[in-house]
Structure 1
Amino acid sequence: MARTVFHPAASRGHANHGWLNSYHSFSFAAYQNPERVHFGALRVLNDDTVAGGMGFGKHPHDNMEIISIPLSGDLEHQDSLGNKAVIRQNDVQVMSAGTGVAHSEKNHSPGTPVKFLQIWVFPKQRGVAPRYDQQTFAPADRHNRLQQVVSPSPADAGVWLHQDAWFHLGQLDKGFATKYDLKKAGNGVYAFVLEGDVTINGQSLHRRDGFGIWETDVLDIVADSNAELLLMEVPMEF
């Protein structure tokens, strides 16, 4: 029997700093909930809106895989590895912090907010060399399909990270049904509904709801309206 955890959108932590409006699916900064520290190797899922011209100043990270997925607007990235890039909707960025890296992120536009997901995943190996990568993904390839955007290997589709994790994006028409087969035994999936309404293994989900499921091999997914969905498969023990 599959085990599950349901996180309604309204139950998330929330911090509005004016320039930053952030919702936390798991404990982060001032939001600390002992029942919501992580889902397996998934440590942080922040739903951030950054005002025009504003951003996060240079700050350090280590031993964490950090994924950014812009939902709208343009996000400018700089880091101590010498990378400088702008990531936009349909891009996915990964930074392996490893032995240590400092980076800054800011809204590239002076007047338009940028909305993005900031996701942290515990690595399976500590002390790796820091690295950075980003890719652009065609939205047509996730229309009524699950498009792989993160994987554990550079030989596989998507940006890769140091963990046995796979992320998929789907843009599903109302009434569309599909299955997701888990890639590795012992993994679970945390589903996050970006827009619309879906049902996963009988659980009804709405915009910005989160749903974790493990001790199962497959997800049954039905779009109850036009919907956008992010699936994050991660090890439950690591």
Structure 2
Amino acid sequence: MAQTILHKANTRGHANHGWLHSYQSFSFAGYYNPQRMNFGALRVLNDDTVDPGMGFGKHPHDNMEIISIPLEGDLEHKDSMNNVAVIKNGDIQAMSAGTGIFHSEYNFDRTSEVKFLQIWIYPNKRNVEPRYDQISLNLEDRHNKLQQVLSPNPDDAGVWIHQDAWFHLGKFDKGVNAEYTIKKEGNGVYAFVLSGEVIINGETLSSRDALGIWDTDKFTIEAGTDAEFLLIDVPMKF
């Protein structure tokens, strides 16, 4: 019997720093909820909006896999590995913090907001050599189908991280459905709706709602309206 947990959009943590609006699916910084610490190896899912020209100054990370998915606008990244890059909607960025890195993230645009998802995954290997990866995706590959954008395998589609995790993005027209098979025994999926309405296991989710599902092999996802969503497939124990 599948186990599920529903996280409605309005139950997330919220931080308003003026230049930054951050909605947090799990405990983060000033938001602490002992019932919302993680979903398996998924530790952070922040839904961030940053004002023009503003951003996060240089700060450290270690032993975490960090993924950024821009939704609108351009996000400038700089790090202690001498990477300088701008990522935009259609790109995905992955960074293995490993033994330790510093990085900064700024809104590259001086006139419009940038919106992006900041995701942290606990790694399955500690103290690895830090690494950076960024690719541009074909947006058509998620129209009415599931587009893999992250995996544990450097030779597979999308970016890769040090964890048995897989991410898929979908942009479905109303009425379209797909069956998703969980990639590894012991994994679960955290489904996060970016826009529209989707139905999973009879549960109707609206924009920014999420449903965690585990103890099952597969499930069906259907678009109740035109909809976009992210599936995060991660180990429940790690």
**TM value normalised by structure 2:** 1.00
Counterparts of 1:39 and 1:124, CA distance in 2: 15
- Structure 2 equivalent of residue 142 of structure 1: 142
Structure 1 counterpart SS, 2:184? coil
What SS does structure 1 have at the residue aligned with 2:141? helix
Report runs of 4+ in structure 1 exceeding 3 Å deviation: none
Say yes or no: does 1:191 pair with 2:191: yes
Match of 1:164 in 2: 164
SS in 1 for 2:78: strand
* Aligned-pair CA distance for 1:201: 1.2
Once residues 9 and 151 of structure 2 are traced to their aligned partners in structure 1, the CA distance between those partners, rounded to angstroms, is 26
Calculate percent identity across the aligned residue pairs.
66
2:104 maps to 104
- Corresponding residue SS for 1:69: strand
Aligned-residue offset at 1:95? 0.5
Distance in 2, Cα, partners of 1:80 & 1:139: 30
Q: Could you tell me which amino acid in structure 1 is paired with residue 80 of structure 2?
A: S
CA distance in 1, matches of 2:202, 2:48: 29
Pair 1:151-2:154 in alignment: no
User: Which deviations, in whole Å up to 9, do the C-alpha atoms of 1:31-89 show, x marking residues without a partner?
Assistant: 00000000000000000000000000000000000000000000000000000000000
Amino acid across the alignment from 2:71: L
- The aligned residue for residue 182 of structure 2 is 182
Q: 1:182 and 1:15 mapped to 2: Cα distance?
A: 33
Name the SS for the 2:87 alignment partner: strand
Deviation at 1:111, TM superposition (A): 1.1
Q: Deviations over 1:154-187 (max 9, x none)?
A: 0111100000000000000000011001110000
Aligned to 2:183, the other structure's residue is in SS state coil
Partner secondary structure for residue 38 of structure 2? coil
Match of 2:59 in 1: 59
The size of the alignment, in residue pairs, is 238
Query: What TM-score comes out, normalization by structure 1 length?
Result: 1.00
Could you say what secondary structure the match of 1:52 adopts? coil
Task: Letter of the 1:18 partner, please give it.
Answer: G
Cα separation, 1, equivalents of 2:173 and 2:153:
30
Q: Which residue of 2 aligns with 1:21?
A: 21
Q: Which runs of 5 or more residues in structure 2 are unaligned?
A: none
SS of structure 1 residue aligned to 2:140: helix
Q: CA deviation at 1:202?
A: 1.2
Query: Paired residue for 2:208?
Result: 208
Separation in 2, partners of 1:228, 1:69: 13
1:68-147 alignment runs, 5 A limit: 68-147=68-147
Shift of 1:219: 1.5
Give the Cα–Cα distance (whole angstroms) in 1 for the partners of residues 8 and 182 of structure 2. Answer: 23
2:37 is matched with: 37
Q: Which amino acid aligns with 1:232?
A: I
- Measure the CA separation in 1 of the matches of 2:80 and 2:177: 44
Q: Secondary structure at the match of 2:77?
A: strand
- Counterpart CA distance in 1 for 2:30 and 2:210 is 20
Counterpart CA distance in 1 for 2:219 and 2:24 is 24
> Aligned-pair RMSD on alpha carbons?
0.4
Whole-Å separation in 1 of the counterparts to 2:17 and 2:225: 33
Alignment partner of 1:190: what SS? Answer: strand
* Residue 223 (structure 2) aligns with: 223
SS at match of 1:135: strand
2:70 aligned partner, one-letter code: P
